[in-house]
Amino acid sequence: MNSTPLVRIENVSKVYAQGATQVHALRNIDLTIQRGAFAALVGPSGSGKTSLLNLIGALDKPSMGSLWIDGENHATQARAQMAAVRLHKIGFIFQDFSLLPVLTALENVEYVLLLQGVPARERRARAAAVLQQLGLQSCQHRRPSQLSGGQQQRVAVARAMVGNPLLVLADEPTANLDSATGAALLQTMLDLNHSQGTTFIFSTHDPMVMRHAQHIVQLKDGKIVEESVHANH
């Protein structure tokens, strides 16, 4: 059992240039996320949640500071190394689902494994298995336009999980769903967290997500203003 934190952030700031002005999206962030955590980044719009999620996801680099994922410092990595981290260690669930419209549900889930170089037969079997686990076996040959919002979101979860990532990042995953669909999706992710030990980090405004989160990080104006950690449910 690896007891080192999955995410360790030390004195991280992120500054964006907007024309002649500089926008300080994050200021002097220190944060540790343990393996197996179910964590939520919360705060008003513009508080820095998405900027922090993008840094943790190796989609962007900090302007200053250090950010370790699974013992590797993103801040010093080349773009190719960051791309490899994203492909092999991190799953993403986007608010708008970001499914490829020309592919079926099965093909959307398979796509990650294709990028990882998994052979075709294994790829199809693994994608079908995770869709079945999420109750989508009857939908696997439908394209996104033929799926409900809740089904599309579960396909997005399946795609995030199929590569067995250490970490899944979800940006407002329940924002576009009705409360029943959102609750079902959240329960699916809790089950995956418990059964597979996958670490989840959300950015969210949803009180339901916050109630289930075991680690809550409150952001305001690019700073952590409050943090609470309690035992897993």
* Complete edge-to-edge strand list for the sheet that includes strand 21-33: 21-33, 7-18, 64-69, 72-73
Residue appearing with tokens 């950690």: 229
Cα(35)–Cα(166) distance, integer angstroms: 8
The beta-strand segments (E) located in 19-166 are 21-33, 38-42, 64-69, 72-73, 90-93
Locate 201 and state its tokens.
């980090």
Give the pTM.
0.91
Query: Mean pLDDT throughout 226-231?
Result: 88
Per-residue pLDDT at 232: 56
Domains of the chain, first to last: 35-62+77-229 (3.40.50.300)
89 close to 168: Cβ distance less than 8 angstroms: no
H or E element, residue 169:
strand 167-171
Over 80: is that where the pLDDT of 1 sits? Answer: no
Q: In this predicted model, what pLDDT tens digit does every residue of 91-110 receive, in sequence order? A: 999 878 899 999 999 999 99
- pLDDT, tens only, 152-164: 988 999 999 999 9
pLDDT tens column, 151-206 = 998 899 999 999 999 999 998 888 777 888 888 888 888 988 998 899 999 999 88
**Tell me, what's the pLDDT at 4?**
86
